[in-house]
């Protein structure tokens, strides 16, 4: 079972993503803010990070920058979710070290397909 960290301050969206992924046998750890996400990242090795752009304490960009600097997850693929879909935000996320970008609102099935593609899982819905 592949382990994914989901960092998202909106509880409902966490529920949506978590339900979508867990139904497909992914193990999802949920963090409600940037600090909590960094706590998970220090302790656990993940195969994918799904991180929201705007979060309390540390923003998604800040979390990505910290992850890419050092630690056990520094080379893990990162998918950034953002309600800010402007080009500048996308560029900032990529510059910080994100590998993929998905704008809100998004289709949970598209997200699932993206996760599978990133993790090279053959099954598709």
Partner 1 sequence: MTKIQFNRKSLVRRYKYLMGIFIAAFLLLAGVLMYSFYELNEEYTSKNMELEKKELLVEELNQAFNDAFMNIRGYIAYGNPELKNTALQQETVIRELSTQLGEMADSDQDDEFRYQVDLFTEYYFVTTLPRSLADYESGNIEAVKETANGGATNRINSIKKKINDYRDEINKQIEENFQELTKIQTYVQVGFVLFVLVFLIILLRITRLMFSEIAKPLADFAFAADEIASGKDAVIEVDTAREDELGVLSVAFNRMIASLQDNEQNLLAQNEELQAQQDELQAQQIDLQEALETVKASEQKLNSRNELINKIANSLDKQEVLESAVMNMCSIIEAERGIISFIHNDSYASFGLSPEGVRQFRSNLANSGVIEKLQAQPNPFLTKRAAVQEEKGFHLTNMVSYDLFLPIFLTGEKLVAVMAFNRSDAPFDSRKMTEYEALAKNIGIALEKISLYEKSEEARRLNQDILDTIQEGVQLVNTKGEILQVNKNFCELFHCPDMLKQLAGCAWDEWIGLLNSSIVESEGFTEFMRKEITSHEKISSNDCHYIYKNINGQVFKVYCEGLFQGSTKLGTIFVHRNITKEFEVDRIKSEFVSTVSHELRTPLASILGFTELILTRELKPDRQKKYLSTIYNEAGRLTHLINNFLDIQRMESGQQGYELQKMELLPIINKVIDLQKVHADKHELIVEVLGGRDTVLGDEEKLEQALINVVHNAIKYSPEGGEVKLTVFEKEGNIHIEIQDEGLGIPPEAIDKVFEKFYRVDNSDRRSIGGTGLGLPIVKEIIQFHGGEIIVKSEYGKGSTFSISLPAYDTQNKFV
Backbone angles phi, psi at 42, to 5 degrees: -70, -30
The nearest distance, CB 90 to partner 1, in angstroms, is: 13
Residue 38: other Cβ atoms inside 10 A: 19
Work out which of 4, 6, 20, 98 binds partner 1, going by CB under 8 A. 20
Piece of 18-26, 36-44, 67-75, 93-101 that binds partner 1 (CB under 8 A): 18-26
For residues 113 and 70, what is the distance between their CA atoms, to the nearest angstrom? 29
Chosen residue from 23, 25, 42, 117 binding partner 1 by CB under 8 A: 23
118 binds partner 1 (CB under 8 A): no
Contacts of 119 (CB under 8 A, 6+ apart): 2, 47, 48, 77
Q: Should residue 105 be labelled a site residue for partner 1 when binding is judged by CB under 8 A? A: yes
* 12 near partner 1 (CB under 8 A): yes
101 and 90 in contact (C-beta within 8 Å)? yes
* Residue 65 touches partner 1, criterion: CB under 8 A: no
């Amino acid at each position: 079972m592949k382990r994914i960290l989901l960092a998202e301050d909106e509880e409902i969206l966490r529920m949506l993503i978590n339900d979508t992924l867990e139904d497909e046998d992914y193990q999802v750890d949920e963090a409600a803010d940037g600090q909590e996400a960094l706590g998970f990242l220090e302790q656990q090795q993940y195969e994918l990070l799904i991180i929201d752009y705007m979060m309390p304490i540390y923003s998604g960009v800040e979390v990505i920058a910290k992850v890419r600097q050092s630690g056990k997850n520094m080379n893990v693929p990162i998918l950034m979710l953002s309600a800010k879909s402007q080009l500048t935000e996308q560029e900032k996320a990529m510059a910080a070290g994100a590998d993929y970008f998905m704008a809100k609102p998004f289709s949970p099935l598209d997200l699932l397909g993206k996760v599978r593609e990133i993790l090279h899982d053959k099954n598709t819905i």
